[in-house]
Every structure is written in structure tokens, then in C-alpha cells.
């Protein structure tokens, strides 16, 4: 029973009349003396202001104040056929139970830690500090049993009936467990010294009833197994448990296993794991391997000396337990490899062939393509099948592959292997038998894994202490021996061992007014907070709020619990150091540098490449860091004056910071403006350069166009000259014809001809000069328009620029001629 501890103030309505019936009792505590009296009914009592109704909390071992109606309790009622487990019985004389009488009863001495069993019928009030539990008596059928444990050997030996005493005559010992079978005792109430152990909240346990062809396995704490066959009722020993099926966790059927049925075409592969002698006198030694078939044993029951060898195949998804014979029809055969001689024999049908797995393996011969083509012409399916067999063969160097490997590979492979391996002649299903639950040895098709064994050990009735990571406890025995255990760990306490108790100061500042009792010491990353009042050089009180980071050094583990209140020890020592340090410093200087002053005083001055810490050799405590959470001046006037001075100083500092910021901003702004001007200047220069380049490129393009036009004009003029030459030839020819046809007018025509020649001689120079002048004028106009931009850019005359452009070309002579005639014309 667990109750919350609450502080209850009795009002006038609650401090009334305590009325108890004959089956009730109540505990009342005297607030002035602390004693707790028990009032047994029937009884009536007016309560005073100093009377406090209480109840006893058995889990916390303390009295808790409750309202008056809650303090009234019913006396434990033990009906006939039940028994009462009473904890902390009172000392009594003789066999009579010492219980409170009617009315008021003063407290008596109790046997703290003892418990007794009281059979019913009975009812009585309890003394303060007692706890009672009523348990029905245990009725047992013939297939039920109880597990009983001895908790008081002296009482058990004195009160034990004959069926609870050991057959060897040895006295019972504490912790000894016994089995009470329903076949021996139909009804059981444990005498004092014995307790019935419950399983899943039930005291009565079901034994296992086995039918024919069923067996069970019991596993002892020693690791030994016991096999029992049906029909019978199997009771386990106190240290035995039933082995259950892994695939059937529900119900009692998971503890039963079926015997394995075998016929002439079935067998089991067995490994002998312990020496034994068969019923027929044959000796078996450890390591022997057996192959048991139906011819030798029709029904097989596992035994502790046998382990079943399983061959696991991950692709099949199960382990093969039973081996089946292979049907070989008439006219067919199978290859069988005899492992002990390395020879492959042929087994011919018709027969049912059951290979011995100890030295016989069914194999398949692998043929190459040439052989298949010779033996099975045109059979592409056979070629594909043998090709797949060669893939399974690998680099073994043999020309055969085992049948188990082929059947395993046929799952999920191509259609040829599926089709050829289908109906291979194996009798029975390929799935394993689920009935075998004895010892097993598992083997794969390629290698044999080692056997595995798991042992489970249980410790009953021993207190277990498991400190967490970063915590430690000190175990102390009555001989004075001590040992410190650091978590994570599990401690099983001996009978005379207990844990050292620490009483730690609490509150801020740390005081001993309200101590915290505990057994777990936090040794890593501990945190201790405190408030220390110090006095400065100018007599000003300052409250410092601190937080210490604490570790306990492993090399001083034996001293960790030497100081019972390490919190007070730490805080007192630190107060002394801080008071002495701050006494030599003014309040203003301390408030401004409180963190540095406190850390230097506690951890020491800061030095390069040195870790600061404060170590207490008395208990191995190390303060590796301290945090100053605040420093407050006790006098409000002094605090206000100091605050005003600090505000003024801060405002001045802020003003200076603003001025410095403005100056820096002006400098940066000026620098940026200069850089912008430089960039704009560079941009203007670059634009001028780019404009000149563009003009030059345009002049070059115009010059090229002019050259092309000049060349075209030259070609035109040359063509015109050729045309004039042709016209001259025509005129000359016509003149000759005229001369030939007009001989009779030679004189007349001669004169006319002379006159014509003279006239033409006078006209021809003027005509050529006119044509030449016209060509030069048009050429000069176009040339000036093309060369003018270049002459302006280079700032030279137009004539000089033209000479520079056409120098070394075919037009250089023409231009010189033009310039010469132009000069002459001037």
C-alpha cells in the first residue's frame, strides 16, 4: 500500500468522536509525544487537539496522517481454509498470539523484519507497524503443484510437516525451494518459515499431462535436460523449467512435443553429445554420428545424449530434419558419392534408395556441350541444363554437383532447371518436421557452423542495486568492509551488506535545516548551487549567486563517501575563500569584474596550457568550473548610486562610440566617392578609344569599297579603249572598201580624205583630254569622300593621305599622272 504523505490540519469538525465497532481498529498519534496508540473496537473516544489519526504505509515504512474516517480500519479476517501472512509480529509468550485488546493499547515491541503464517479462522486488530495479507489456502488437483521457498530455516525446520522435509534427513536452509505435488497433498497452507511463490499472479501451477506419443523437456538450472514420455503427469523440480516451442507461444500445448514417426524410407541424422549405453548394451561415445531409420526404430523419442543435425538452406527457408528415400524407377539410376572412399557408385532401379548422410551423397554428373551434343543430338534443353550445372559447379575441379545444391538453386532459376528437377523422386514432403524440439546441430550446404548454447541464470530473493551512468554507491558490510561501485553496474547485496547514506544540504544558501538523504552519489557532471554574502573593502555587502561544476576523481574513489555532507563541506570552504578575496576589493571594482574575481579565487589564476580546477583531497571532489549567475548589492541606496554611475559611464561610452562610428562612416563614404570618380574617368577614356577604333574601322571599310570602285572604273575604261580600237579597225576596213569602189574619184575623194584626216587629227587630242578630265573628276569626287574621314583622323592633307593609301599599288602611277596634270592645269 502506497499513500501520498500530506500535511493535514485538524479542524473542529474533524476533532470529534472516534467510534469503532467490534471488527475495527484505528491508530492515533499523540502530537506532543509522537507515540502511536491502537484503539480496538468496540470503543468510543473523543479526540483532542493533540490527537492525530494516522495509518501505516507498509511500502514506505512510515505513518501517514489522514482524516478521521480514513484512519478507521477493518480487522484482518481470515476465514476457514485461508491463512494470514503477518509482518512484524509482536513478541509473545507461549503459543498465544499477542494482539491488541479492546479499547486503548499502548505500543509494544515488534519483531521488525519477521513474518509468520496464521491459518484461519482468525481475526484481530493490528499493532502500529504491522502489515497483514490474507491468502486463500491452496487446493491442488492431481495435475497441479506449488513451489515453496524457505525464508526462515529455524521456523521451517520446527514447523515443517513430513512431506516438506528432505529425504536425506538434512535440515532445511534459507532460500531452499521445494515442490508440493497435488498427488501428495490435496490442500496446503504453508507453516511459518515457508512461503508459496507465485507465477504470473497465480500460486497454483499446472503440471504437464502427456498423452501417448508425446514427450516434454525440462531444463534444470545446472544445464541438464530431463526428457519425460507420456502417458504420465510430469512435475518439474523446483529448479527446472519446461522448454517450449518457439513457434507456439500460447497455451500449455507449447510445452508438449510429438514423437517422430519413421518408416523404412525415412531417417534421422544424430550426433552423440554424451556417453551412454543403449538398451541392448551398445556403448555410444561422445562424437559418434548415428543414422536412425524406420527399420531400426519406428517411433523416435529424443534423449539428452542426442543432437539432431540439420542442414540449413537459406534459399529453401527451413532446415531439413528428416531424410527421405529417393524413388528410382525401373530403367533409371542415380549417382551416389561415397565420401569415405571418394568413389561414385550407380544405384539402379527399381528401388527406394535411402542414402546414409554420414558417407553417402546423391550427385549429378555435369556434361560438357560436346558430350551433350553427342549423347543428345539436337536437344538444346539438355545443353542449357548442363550449362546451368556448370555454373553451380564453380571451380571445385569435380565433374559432378550434389543433388541438394541443384534443388536449392532450382528455386528462382531459369525454366530448364525447374523443369528437369521437378519430380526428382524424393519421397515425402521437403518441409521439415516441426515435432523435434530436442538438442539440434545445424549445418549448411557449404560449411558446418559451431553449436550454440544459451544459459539463463535467475537470482531470487536477493536485492539488486543498479546505479545509473555517472552515479556511485558505497556498499558496507557489518564487518566494516567497504567498496564503491560506479554505474552502470548491477550489485547483488549480500545478507550483511547495506549502502552508505549521504546527508546533503539543500536550499540557497546551503544550510543543514533540511538535509537530503540518499545513497546514490553523482560523480560525473554534478551541479551545486549556492548564494554567498561577502563584504567588500568599503564595507558593502554583496550577494553572489554561484553554480559549481563538480566531478569526483576516479583515483580517489575510496574517499568519495568519507565526507557525509560534501555539499556543505564544499560550500563552506568556498564561502571562506570568497570572503577573504572580496574583502580586499572595492565594491565598484568587484561588481565590474565579479566573474573574473570569483573564478580566479576558486579555480586559480589563468595560465597558458593549464586546466584550472579546485581539488579536495579529503573526498576526491574536483571543482572544474564555476558560473557566476549574479552579484547583487544588499544596500539599495548604494546599489542605486552605483547603477547611476554605471549608466552615466555607459552613456558616455555610447556617445563616443557613435562619434567614432560617424567618423569611420565619413571616411568610408569619401573613399567610395573617390573610387567612383576614378571609375567614371576611366570609362570616358575607354569610350574615346572605342570611338577612334570604330572610326578607323569604318575608314578602312570605305577605302576597301573605294578600291573596288576604282578597279571597276579601270576595267570599264579599258573596255572602252578596246571598243574604240575595234571601231577604228572597222572604219579602216570600210575606208579601204570605199577606196577600192571609188577609184575613179581618187582625186576628189583623196582631197576629201585629207580634209577628214586633218579634221580628225585636230579633234582627237581634245576628245581624249575631255574624256580624261571627266574620268578624273568623278574619281576624285568619290576618292575624296572615302579618304576624308581618315585624313581628318590623322590630321594630314587629303593628297598626302591618298598617296599613303595607294602607295605600292597599280593606281600609284595613275594618281601621279593625275596630280601632274592637275599641277600643270594649275
The answer to whether residues 84 and 74 touch, using CB atoms and an 8 Å cutoff, is no
Banded model confidence at residue 428, pLDDT cuts 50, 70, 90: very low
Q: 566-582 and 594-603 are packed helices; what angle lies between their axes, rounded to 10 degrees?
A: 120
Q: What is the pLDDT of residue 311?
A: 72
- Report in angstroms the alpha-carbon separations of 503 from 468, 511, 517, 549: 20, 11, 4, 19
Q: What is the pLDDT of residue 133?
A: 93
User: Does 358 score more than 80 pLDDT?
Assistant: yes
The answer to whether residues 63 and 37 touch, using CB atoms and an 8 Å cutoff, is no
The answer to whether residues 16 and 69 touch, using CB atoms and an 8 Å cutoff, is no
Q: Residue 110 and residue 87: Cα distance in Å, rounded?
A: 9
Number of H helices, E strands in the chain: 13, 53
User: Does 432 score more than 80 pLDDT?
Assistant: no
Q: What letters, b where the CB count within 10 A reaches 16 and e where it falls short, cover 668-688?
A: eeeeeeeeeeeeeeeeeeeee
Query: Which stretches of 24-67 are DSSP H helices?
Result: none
Please give the mean pLDDT across all residues of the chain. 78
The pLDDT of 59-64, averaged and rounded, is 88
Match 479492546 to its residue by C-alpha cell. Answer: 102
Match 558430350 to its residue by C-alpha cell. Answer: 371
Q: Residue 164 and residue 718: Cα distance in Å, rounded?
A: 151
Q: Residue 257 and residue 186: Cα distance in Å, rounded?
A: 29
Contacts made by residues 622-626, CB under 8 angstroms, sequence distance 24+: 622/550, 622/551, 622/552, 622/553, 623/548, 623/549, 623/550, 623/570, 623/574, 624/549, 624/550, 624/551, 625/548, 625/549, 626/546, 626/547, 626/548, 626/549, 626/598, 626/599, 626/602
- H-run or E-run covering 626: strand 621-633
Q: What is the pLDDT of residue 421?
A: 35
Is 320 strand, coil or helix?
strand
- H-run or E-run covering 465: strand 464-465
Q: What is the pLDDT of residues 701-741, one digit of tens each?
A: 888 888 888 888 888 888 888 888 888 888 888 877 777 77
Q: What is the pLDDT of residue 744?
A: 62
Q: Return the C-alpha cell found at 715.
A: 576595267
Of 249-253, 567-571, 643-647, 769-773, least confident by mean pLDDT is: 249-253
Q: 812-825 and 746-794 are packed helices; what angle lies between their axes, rounded to 10 degrees?
A: 100
Q: What is the pLDDT of residue 61?
A: 86
Length of the chain: 826
User: Does 200 score more than 60 pLDDT?
Assistant: yes
Of 199-213, 334-348, 364-378, 764-778, least confident by mean pLDDT is: 764-778
Banded model confidence at residue 794, pLDDT cuts 50, 70, 90: low
Q: Is the peptide bond before 712 cis (omega within 30 degrees of 0)?
A: no
Q: Residue 111 and residue 90: Cα distance in Å, rounded?
A: 6
Q: What is the pLDDT of residue 455?
A: 32
User: Does 650 score more than 70 pLDDT?
Assistant: no
For the beta carbon of residue 376, count every other beta carbon within 10 angstroms.
15
The answer to whether residues 789 and 702 touch, using CB atoms and an 8 Å cutoff, is yes
Instruction: Say what the pTM is.
Output: 0.46
Q: Which are the contacts of 358, defined by CB distance < 8 A and separation ≥ 6?
A: 269, 289, 291
Higher pLDDT, 55 or 442: 55
Q: What is the pLDDT of residue 765?
A: 62
Task: At 538, give phi and psi (nearest 5°).
Answer: -95, 30
Q: Return the C-alpha cell found at 460.
A: 531470487
Q: Return the C-alpha cell found at 404.
A: 541438394
Phi-psi region of 331 (alpha: psi -120 to 50; beta: other; left: phi over 0): left
- Report in angstroms the alpha-carbon separations of 812 from 199, 747, 748, 802: 129, 50, 50, 9
Identify which of 373, 371, 367, 370 has the alpha carbon closest to the alpha carbon of residue 388: 367
Q: Residue 474 and residue 499: Cα distance in Å, rounded?
A: 6
Identify which of 477, 579, 482 has the alpha carbon closest to the alpha carbon of residue 536: 579
Q: Which are the contacts of 811, defined by CB distance < 8 A and separation ≥ 6?
A: 710, 714
The answer to whether residues 83 and 119 touch, using CB atoms and an 8 Å cutoff, is yes
Match 535545516 to its residue by C-alpha cell. Answer: 513
The answer to whether residues 403 and 344 touch, using CB atoms and an 8 Å cutoff, is no
Q: Is the peptide bond before 42 cis (omega within 30 degrees of 0)?
A: yes
In the chain, % of residues over pLDDT 90: 19
Q: Residue 297 and residue 683: Cα distance in Å, rounded?
A: 110
Q: What is the pLDDT of residue 121?
A: 93
Banded model confidence at residue 448, pLDDT cuts 50, 70, 90: very low
User: What residues pair up with 261 in beta bridges, in sequence order?
Assistant: 299
Q: Residue 19 and residue 34: Cα distance in Å, rounded?
A: 22
Q: Residue 117 and residue 92: Cα distance in Å, rounded?
A: 15
Match 476457514 to its residue by C-alpha cell. Answer: 80
Match 546514490 to its residue by C-alpha cell. Answer: 520
Higher pLDDT, 246 or 5: 246
Q: What is the pLDDT of residue 773?
A: 63
Q: What is the pLDDT of residue 188?
A: 95
Identify which of 544, 596, 536, 586 has the alpha carbon closest to the alpha carbon of residue 604: 596
Q: Return the C-alpha cell found at 373.
A: 551434343
The pLDDT of 339-360, averaged and rounded, is 83
Domains in the chain (CATH in brackets) are: 17-136 (no CATH), 138-257 (no CATH), 259-324+432-457 (2.30.30.550), 326-426 (no CATH), 501-634 (3.30.479.30), 690-825 (no CATH)
Task: At 13, give phi and psi (nearest 5°).
Answer: -75, -25
The answer to whether residues 100 and 127 touch, using CB atoms and an 8 Å cutoff, is yes
Amino acid at each position: 500500500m502506497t499513500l501520498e504523505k500530506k500535511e493535514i490540519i485538524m479542524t473542529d469538525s474533524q476533532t470529534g468522536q472516534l467510534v469503532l465497532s467490534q471488527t475495527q481498529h484505528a491508530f492515533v498519534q499523540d502530537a506532543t509525544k509522537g507515540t502511536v496508540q491502537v484503539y480496538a473496537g468496540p470503543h468510543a473516544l473523543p479526540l483532542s487537539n493533540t490527537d492525530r489519526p494516522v495509518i501505516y504505509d507498509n511500502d514506505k515504512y512510515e505513518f501517514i496522517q489522514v482524516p478521521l474516517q480514513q484512519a478507521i480500519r477493518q480487522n484482518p479476517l481470515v476465514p476457514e481454509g485461508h491463512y494470514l501472512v503477518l509482518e512484524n509480529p509482536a513478541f509473545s509468550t507461549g503459543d498465544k498470539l499477542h494482539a491488541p485488546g479492546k479499547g486503548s493499547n499502548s505500543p509494544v515491541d515488534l519483531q521488525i523484519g519477521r513474518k509468520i503464517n496464521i491459518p484461519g479462522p482468525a481475526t484481530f486488530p493490528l499493532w502500529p507497524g504491522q502489515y497483514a495479507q490474507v491468502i486463500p489456502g491452496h487446493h491442488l488437483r492431481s495435475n497441479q503443484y506449488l513451489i515453496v521457498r524457505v525464508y526462515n530455516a529455524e521456523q521451517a525446520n520446527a514447523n515443517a510437516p513430513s512431506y516438506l522435509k528432505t529425504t536425506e534427513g538434512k535440515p532445511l536452509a534459507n532460500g531452499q525451494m521445494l515442490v508440493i505435488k497435488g498427488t501428495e497433498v490435496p490442500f496446503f497452507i504453508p507453516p511459518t518459515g515457508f512461503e508459496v511463490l507465485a507465477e504470473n499472479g497465480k500460486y497454483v501451477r499446472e503440471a504437464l499431462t502427456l498423452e501417448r506419443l508425446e514427450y516434454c523437456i525440462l531444463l534444470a538450472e545446472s544445464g541438464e535436460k530431463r526428457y519425460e514420455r507420456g502417458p504420465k503427469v510430469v512435475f518439474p523440480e523446483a529448479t527446472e523449467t519446461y522448454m517450449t516451442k518457439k513457434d507456439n507461444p500460447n497455451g500449455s500445448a507449447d510445452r508438449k512435443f510429438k514423437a517422430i514417426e519413421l518408416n523404412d524410407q525415412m531417417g534421422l541424422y544424430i550426433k552423440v553429445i554424451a556417453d551412454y549405453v543403449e538398451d541392448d548394451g551398445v556403448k555410444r561415445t561422445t562424437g559418434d554420428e548415428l543414422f536412425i531409420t524406420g527399420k531400426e526404430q519406428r517411433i523416435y523419442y529424443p534423449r539428452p545424449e542426442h543432437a539432431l543435425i540439420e542442414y540449413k538452406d537459406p534459399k529453401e527457408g527451413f532446415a531439413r530434419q528428416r531424410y527421405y528415400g529417393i524413388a528410382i524407377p525401373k530403367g533409371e539410376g542415380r549417382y551416389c558419392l561415397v565420401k569415405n572412399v571418394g568413389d561414385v557408385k550407380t544405384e539402379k532401379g527399381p528401388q527406394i534408395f535411402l542414402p546414409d548422410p554420414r558417407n553417402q551423397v546423391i550427385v549429378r554428373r555435369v556434361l560438357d556441350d560436346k558430350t551433350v551434343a553427342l549423347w543428345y543430338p539436337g536437344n538444346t534443353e539438355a545443353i542449357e541444363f548442363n550449362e546451368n550445372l556448370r555454373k553451380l559447379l564453380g571451380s571445385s575441379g569435380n565433374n559432378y554437383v550434389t543433388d541438394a545444391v541443384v534443388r536449392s538453386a532450382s528455386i528462382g532459376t531459369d525454366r530448364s532447371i525447374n523443369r528437369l528437377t521437378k519430380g526428382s523422386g524424393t519421397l515425402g514432403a521437403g518441409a521439415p518436421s516441426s515435432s523435434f524440439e530436442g538438442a539440434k546441430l545445424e549445418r549448411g550446404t557449404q560449411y558446418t557452423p559451431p553449436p550454440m548454447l544459451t544459459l539463463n541464470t535467475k537470482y531470487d530473493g536477493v536485492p539488486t542495486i543498479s546505479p545509473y551512468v555517472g552515479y556511485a554507491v558505497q556498499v558496507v558490510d557489518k564487518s566494516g568492509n567497504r567498496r564503491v561501485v560506479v554505474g552502470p553496474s548491477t550489485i547483488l547485496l549480500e545478507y550483511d551488506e547495506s549502502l552508505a547514506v549521504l546527508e546533503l544540504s539543500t536550499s540557497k544558501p546551503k544550510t543543514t535545516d533540511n538535509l537530503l538523504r540518499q545513497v546514490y552519489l553523482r560523480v560525473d557532471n554534478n551541479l551545486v548551487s549556492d548564494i554567498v554574502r561577502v563584504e567588500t573593502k568599503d564595507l558593502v555587502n554583496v550577494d553572489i549567486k554561484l553554480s559549481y561544476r563538480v566531478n569526483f576523481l576516479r583515483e580517489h574513489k575510496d574517499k568519495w563517501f568519507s565526507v557525509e555532507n560534501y555539499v556543505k563541506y564544499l560550500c563552506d570552504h568556498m564561502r571562506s575563500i570568497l570572503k577573504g578575496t572580496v574583502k580586499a576589493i572595492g565594491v565598484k571594482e568587484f561588481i565590474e569584474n565579479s566573474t573574473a574575481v570569483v573564478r580566479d579565487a576558486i579555480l586559480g589564476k589563468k595560465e597558458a596550457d593549464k586546466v584550472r580546477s579546485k581539488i579536495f583531497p579529503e573526498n576526491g571532489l574536483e571543482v572544474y568550473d564555476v558560473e557566476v549567475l549574479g552579484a547583487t548589492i544588499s544596500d539599495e541606496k548604494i546599489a542605486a548610486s552605483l547603477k547611476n554611475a554605471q549608466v552615466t559611464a555607459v552613456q558616455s561610452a555610447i556617445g563616443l562610440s557613435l562619434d567614432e562610428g560617424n567618423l569611420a562612416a565619413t571616411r568610408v563614404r569619401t573613399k567610395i566617392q573617390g573610387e567612383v570618380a576614378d571609375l567614371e574617368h576611366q570609362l570616358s577614356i575607354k569610350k574615346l578609344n572605342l570611338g577612334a577604333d570604330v572610326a578607323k574601322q569604318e575608314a578602312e571599310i570605305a577605302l576597301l569599297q573605294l578600291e573596288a570602285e576604282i578597279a571597276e572604273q579601270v576595267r570599264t575604261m579599258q573596255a572602252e579603249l578596246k571598243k574604240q580600237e575595234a571601231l577604228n579597225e572597222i572604219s579602216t576596213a570600210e575606208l579601204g572598201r570605199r577606196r577600192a569602189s571609188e577609184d575613179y574619184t581618187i582625186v576628189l575623194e583623196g582631197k576629201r580624205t585629207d580634209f577628214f584626216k586633218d579634221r580628225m587629227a585636230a579633234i582627237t587630242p581634245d576628245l581624249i583630254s575631255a574624256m580624261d578630265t571627266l574620268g578624273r573628276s568623278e574619281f576624285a569626287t568619290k576618292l575624296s569622300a572615302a579618304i576624308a574621314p581618315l585624313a581628318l583622323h590623322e590630321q594630314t592633307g587629303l593628297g598626302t593621305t591618298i598617296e599613303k593609301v595607294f602607295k605600292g599599288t597599280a593606281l600609284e602611277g595613275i594618281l601621279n599622272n593625275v596630280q601632274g596634270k592637275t599641277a600643270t592645269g594649275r
